[in-house]
Protein backbone atom coordinates (compact mmCIF):
# COMPACT_ATOMS: atom_id res chain seq x y z
CA UNK A 1 0.00 0.00 0.00
CA UNK A 2 1.21 3.49 -0.78
CA UNK A 3 -0.18 7.00 -0.40
CA UNK A 4 -2.27 7.89 -3.42
CA UNK A 5 -2.51 11.12 -5.40
CA UNK A 6 -5.26 12.46 -3.11
CA UNK A 7 -4.01 13.42 0.33
CA UNK A 8 -4.57 10.54 2.75
CA UNK A 9 -5.79 8.06 0.10
CA UNK A 10 -4.24 4.60 0.19
CA UNK A 11 -3.81 2.67 -3.03
CA UNK A 12 -2.61 -0.86 -3.61
CA UNK A 13 0.18 -0.95 -6.16
CA UNK A 14 0.03 -3.84 -8.60
CA UNK A 15 2.74 -5.30 -10.81
CA UNK A 16 1.64 -3.11 -13.70
CA UNK A 17 2.59 0.54 -13.19
CA UNK A 18 -0.53 1.70 -15.04
CA UNK A 19 -2.99 -0.35 -12.95
CA UNK A 20 -3.75 1.18 -9.55
CA UNK A 21 -6.60 -0.09 -7.39
CA UNK A 22 -8.07 1.80 -4.45
CA UNK A 23 -9.92 -0.07 -1.73
CA UNK A 24 -12.39 2.69 -0.82
CA UNK A 25 -14.01 0.66 1.97
CA UNK A 26 -10.64 0.04 3.64
CA UNK A 27 -9.72 3.72 3.36
CA UNK A 28 -13.08 4.80 4.80
CA UNK A 29 -12.77 2.35 7.71
CA UNK A 30 -9.20 3.48 8.42
CA UNK A 31 -10.13 7.15 8.41
CA UNK A 32 -13.23 6.55 10.57
CA UNK A 33 -11.13 4.66 13.10
CA UNK A 34 -8.53 7.42 13.18
CA UNK A 35 -11.24 10.07 13.66
CA UNK A 36 -12.67 8.37 16.75
CA UNK A 37 -9.43 7.05 18.23
CA UNK A 38 -7.48 9.18 20.66
CA UNK A 39 -5.47 6.30 22.13
CA UNK A 40 -1.93 5.74 20.93
CA UNK A 41 -0.54 2.47 22.30
CA UNK A 42 3.05 2.83 23.46
CA UNK A 43 3.48 -0.47 25.32
CA UNK A 44 5.59 -3.21 23.74
CA UNK A 45 2.98 -5.87 24.53
CA UNK A 46 -0.75 -5.20 24.41
CA UNK A 47 -3.70 -7.31 25.60
CA UNK A 48 -5.48 -9.42 22.97
CA UNK A 49 -9.21 -10.03 22.71
CA UNK A 50 -8.64 -13.32 24.58
CA UNK A 51 -8.30 -12.90 28.34
CA UNK A 52 -4.78 -13.24 29.78
CA UNK A 53 -3.06 -13.25 26.38
CA UNK A 54 -0.73 -10.43 25.35
CA UNK A 55 0.96 -9.89 22.01
CA UNK A 56 3.78 -7.78 20.64
CA UNK A 57 2.49 -4.42 19.48
CA UNK A 58 5.19 -4.27 16.79
CA UNK A 59 4.44 -7.52 14.96
CA UNK A 60 0.82 -8.31 15.84
CA UNK A 61 -0.34 -7.67 12.25
CA UNK A 62 2.05 -10.32 10.88
CA UNK A 63 0.58 -13.86 10.63
CA UNK A 64 1.55 -15.83 13.74
CA UNK A 65 3.76 -18.39 11.99
CA UNK A 66 5.88 -15.59 10.47
CA UNK A 67 6.48 -13.74 13.76
CA UNK A 68 9.54 -14.18 15.95
CA UNK A 69 9.04 -16.62 18.84
CA UNK A 70 7.52 -15.16 21.98
CA UNK A 71 5.20 -12.72 20.22
CA UNK A 72 2.21 -14.00 22.25
CA UNK A 73 2.43 -14.40 26.02
CA UNK A 74 -0.02 -15.89 28.52
CA UNK A 75 -0.09 -13.73 31.64
CA UNK A 76 -2.78 -12.53 34.08
CA UNK A 77 -1.06 -9.13 34.18
CA UNK A 78 1.32 -7.30 31.87
CA UNK A 79 4.17 -9.65 30.82
CA UNK A 80 7.46 -9.61 32.70
CA UNK A 81 10.30 -7.49 31.31
CA UNK A 82 12.50 -10.54 30.64
CA UNK A 83 9.77 -12.08 28.43
CA UNK A 84 9.39 -8.82 26.53
CA UNK A 85 13.13 -8.30 26.09
CA UNK A 86 13.66 -11.87 24.85
CA UNK A 87 11.07 -11.39 22.11
CA UNK A 88 12.18 -7.87 21.17
CA UNK A 89 15.74 -9.13 20.53
CA UNK A 90 14.35 -11.23 17.65
CA UNK A 91 11.29 -9.20 16.64
CA UNK A 92 11.30 -7.79 13.12
CA UNK A 93 8.34 -5.49 13.72
CA UNK A 94 5.96 -5.58 10.79
CA UNK A 95 8.55 -7.38 8.61
CA UNK A 96 7.64 -11.10 8.56
CA UNK A 97 10.22 -13.87 8.86
CA UNK A 98 11.35 -15.24 5.48
CA UNK A 99 10.69 -18.79 6.72
CA UNK A 100 8.18 -19.42 9.52
CA UNK A 101 9.61 -20.41 12.91
CA UNK A 102 7.70 -23.69 12.84
CA UNK A 103 9.38 -24.89 9.61
CA UNK A 104 11.31 -28.14 9.64
CA UNK A 105 14.80 -28.28 8.21
CA UNK A 106 16.18 -31.60 7.04
CA UNK A 107 18.99 -32.83 4.79
CA UNK A 108 17.90 -33.26 1.20
CA UNK A 109 20.12 -35.28 -1.09
CA UNK A 110 19.32 -34.37 -4.66
CA UNK A 111 21.27 -33.65 -7.80
CA UNK A 112 21.35 -29.90 -7.23
CA UNK A 113 22.69 -27.71 -4.44
CA UNK A 114 21.63 -26.74 -1.77
CA UNK A 115 21.46 -29.96 0.22
CA UNK A 116 18.80 -28.61 2.63
CA UNK A 117 15.05 -28.75 2.20
CA UNK A 118 12.82 -26.48 4.30
CA UNK A 119 9.09 -27.20 4.39
CA UNK A 120 6.11 -25.66 6.07
CA UNK A 121 2.36 -25.72 5.74
CA UNK A 122 0.45 -22.56 6.63
CA UNK A 123 -2.61 -24.64 7.42
CA UNK A 124 -1.69 -28.02 8.98
CA UNK A 125 -5.29 -29.27 8.59
CA UNK A 126 -5.23 -28.67 4.84
CA UNK A 127 -4.73 -31.63 2.47
CA UNK A 128 -2.56 -29.39 0.24
CA UNK A 129 1.11 -30.33 0.02
CA UNK A 130 3.47 -28.24 2.17
CA UNK A 131 5.48 -25.40 0.65
CA UNK A 132 9.11 -26.18 -0.11
CA UNK A 133 11.90 -23.60 -0.13
CA UNK A 134 15.50 -24.29 -0.94
What does DSSP assign to residue 44? S
pLDDT in tens, the chain (134 residues): 445 555 544 444 444 444 456 677 777 776 776 666 666 667 889 999 899 999 998 888 888 888 888 899 999 999 999 999 999 898 888 888 888 877 877 766 666 665 566 777 776 666 555 555 55
Put simply, whether the predicted model's pTM sits higher than 0.75 gets the answer no
Q: What is the pLDDT of residue 54?
A: 93
Distances (CA, A) of 108 to 2, 8, 120, 124: 40, 49, 15, 22
Amino acid sequence: WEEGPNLGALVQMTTSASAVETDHNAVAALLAGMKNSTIIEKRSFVPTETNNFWECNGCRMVPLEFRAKGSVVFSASEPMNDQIKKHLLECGGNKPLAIPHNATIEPFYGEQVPPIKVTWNSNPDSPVAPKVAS
